[in-house]
Amino acid sequence: MNIKINISALFTAALLALSFAGCDNNKRIIPESQTDTINSPAADKGTLSSQPESTVQNPKAQSRTSAQPSNTDTSTNTDTETDTTSLQPEATDLEPAAPEDTDLTETDSEEKASPMPIELGGYTVTAEQVTLDNSYKPTSQDSLTAEMTGGTLYILDGGKLISYGISGTTGTFEQEMTLARGYTKMSTNNYGTIYISGDNKNAVYISDGGMLTDTELRGNLELSELQDIGLIYSKSSDNVLVYQNGDTKNWAITNMKDNDTRTGEFNKINNIEIAADRVFVTGSSAEDNNNRKVAVYTTDGELISVTNDKTSGNGMTSITPTAYGYMVTSPGMISLYDFEYNLTAQTTAKQLQELFGNDNDITVNSLFSLNDNTVLAVCVTDDEQLCLYKISVQ
C-alpha cells in the first residue's frame, strides 16, 4: 500500500514539474522577440520592406524615414508609426520647396526691369528689345559703331565685324570677320553697299559674298543713301572732300586751321552724318570760342542753319530721319529735333533706363529707321553688353 502511494505521488510531481518548465520557456521567448522588433535597426528596415504598397506609392518615404530613425526608435508600435510616416512624405517635401520657388521668382522680377513708356516732347516713346540668338560683349561702351543695309545689321568693334540678320524682334547671328584695327566708321551708299573707313585708313567695302574690297578713298567716309555722293574728312586734313561720280574735290568746309582763308564754321570736325538730303556737321566753332556747334547743309554744300550742339559727350554719333523730324543719339542721350533741326526734347539717363527696362547706364551708339516706322537702336550697357531695341514714337 505504501509503495503504490509513493509511486503515484512521484508521477504527479513529475507532471507538475514539466508543466511549470513549459510556462517558463514561453515567458522567456515572447518578450525577447518583442524587444528585438522595437530596438534593432535591422528590424526597422525589415518593417519598411514589409510594406511594399506604401513604399511604391511614395518612393521618397524610405529614404526620408531612414534619415529620421528617432521616430521609429521611440515608438511603442513599430507597424503603426512606420505606416504613418511612409504615407505622408510629400507634404513634408513640398512645404520647404514652395518658398524657394517664390524667392526665385521675386528675385528675377526685382533684377530684371520691364521697359516702360516715357513722355518726350509731347510724344509717347516705347521700346521693345530685340533678342539675339548669339550675344556679343563689346570691347567697351563707346568702342563700336554699326550700320544696316536691307535686313542685315553690321557691328564694327576694333578688328571685328559681326553681322546679324534682323527680323521683327529677333536677331540671328550670321558671320564674324576680322580686319585691321583703326577702322571706326561705317556708311551705306545709294546701292546698299557698306563702306568701312577710319581717320587714316583707306576705306574698304563689303562686296557680294561678304568679302572686303580696298578703295583709294582715305579718311572717314560718310555716304548718302539717296544720291551717289560721299563726304571725306579726317583729323589730318583741313578740308572736307566730296566724292561724286568717281571724282574728289573740296566741299563747303575748307582750310579749317587758317583764319584768313577758312570757309565754313569749324576749325575742327567731330562727326559728319548724312540723313535723307541733309548733311549734319558737328565740331568746334572757329567763330564762337571753340564752342560745339551743329551746322546743317544740303549735300551740295549750301548752309541751312547753325545751332549750338546740345547733345552730350563729343556730340552727335548717329541721326536718322523719321515721320516727326530727326532722332539723334549721343552718349547716354536720345534727342528729338523737328525738320528745321530745332530741339524738341531730350532724354535723361534715368529715362533711358526706364525706356529700355535696364537698370544699367546705356550708351546708344547708332540709330536706324525701319520700314515699320520704328527705329532700331544699337546700345551698349555699362557692363558691356550689346543690346538692340525697336523704338516707337507716337
Tens-digit pLDDT profile for residues 122-174: 999 999 999 999 989 998 777 789 999 989 999 999 899 999 999 999 999 99
Overall average pLDDT of the 253-269 stretch: 94
Task: Please check whether residue 162 lies inside any domain of the structure.
Answer: yes
> What is residue 306's predicted lDDT score, i.e. its pLDDT?
92
Same domain, residue pair 141 and 287: yes
Q: Indicate if the pLDDT at residue 7 is higher than 70.
A: no
> What is residue 233's predicted lDDT score, i.e. its pLDDT?
97
Task: Please check whether residue 323 lies inside any domain of the structure.
Answer: yes
Query: Sorting pLDDT into bands at 50, 70 and 90, what band is 71?
Result: very low
> What is residue 111's predicted lDDT score, i.e. its pLDDT?
55
Q: How far is the C-alpha of 137 from the C-alpha of 335, rounded, in Å? A: 26
Q: Indicate if the pLDDT at residue 19 is higher than 60.
A: no
Same domain, residue pair 173 and 77: no
Residue 384, C-beta contacts closer than 8 angstroms, at least 6 positions apart: 137, 138, 139, 140, 141
> What is residue 128's predicted lDDT score, i.e. its pLDDT?
96
Same domain, residue pair 354 and 245: yes
Q: Which residue has the higher pLDDT, 388 or 47?
A: 388
* Tens digits of residue pLDDT in 201-244: 999 999 877 788 999 999 999 999 999 999 999 988 999 999 99
Q: What is the DSSP letter of 209?
A: G
> What is residue 96's predicted lDDT score, i.e. its pLDDT?
36
Return the closest-CA partner of residue 255 out of 240, 244, 245, 270: 240
Same domain, residue pair 157 and 209: yes
Which stretches of the chain are DSSP H helices? 2-39, 41-49, 52-57, 60-66, 70-73, 78-86, 89-111, 349-356
Q: Which residue has the higher pLDDT, 31 or 291?
A: 291
Task: Please check whether residue 24 lies inside any domain of the structure.
Answer: no
Q: Which residue has the higher pLDDT, 329 or 3?
A: 329
Same domain, residue pair 185 and 38: no
> What is residue 12's predicted lDDT score, i.e. its pLDDT?
45
Same domain, residue pair 80 and 131: no
Query: 67, 87, 107: which is the final residue of a domain?
Result: 87
Overall average pLDDT of the 326-338 stretch: 91
Overall average pLDDT of the 377-383 stretch: 91
Query: Rounded to whole angstroms, what are the CA distances from 325 to 141, 336, 355, 387?
Result: 27, 7, 20, 25
Q: What is the DSSP letter of 157?
A: E
Task: Please check whether residue 194 lies inside any domain of the structure.
Answer: yes
Return the closest-CA partner of residue 54 out of 17, 79, 29: 79
Task: Please check whether residue 326 lies inside any domain of the structure.
Answer: yes
Task: Please check whether residue 204 lies inside any domain of the structure.
Answer: yes
Same domain, residue pair 166 and 246: yes
3-class SS at 169? coil
Output the domain CATH number for residue 313: 2.130.10.10
> What is residue 4's predicted lDDT score, i.e. its pLDDT?
44
3-class SS at 307? strand
What is the overall mean pLDDT for the chain? 77
Task: Please check whether residue 111 lies inside any domain of the structure.
Answer: no
Same domain, residue pair 59 and 178: no
Q: Indicate if the pLDDT at residue 98 is higher than 60.
A: no
Query: 87, 108, 126: which is the final residue of a domain?
Result: 87
Q: How far is the C-alpha of 173 from the C-alpha of 127, rounded, in Å? A: 22
Q: Indicate if the pLDDT at residue 35 is higher than 50.
A: no
Residue position matching grid coordinates 574735290: 249
Overall average pLDDT of the 65-94 stretch: 38
Same domain, residue pair 83 and 134: no
Segments forming the whole domain that contains residue 188: 117-393
Same domain, residue pair 123 and 82: no
Query: 48, 71, 87: which is the final residue of a domain?
Result: 87
- CB-CB neighbours of 131 under 10 Å: 12
Q: Which of 8-12, 202-206, 264-268, 370-374 has the lowest mean pLDDT?
A: 8-12
Same domain, residue pair 256 and 214: yes
Q: How many domains does the chain have?
A: 2
Task: Please check whether residue 17 lies inside any domain of the structure.
Answer: no
- The whole-model pTM stands at 0.70
Same domain, residue pair 176 and 295: yes
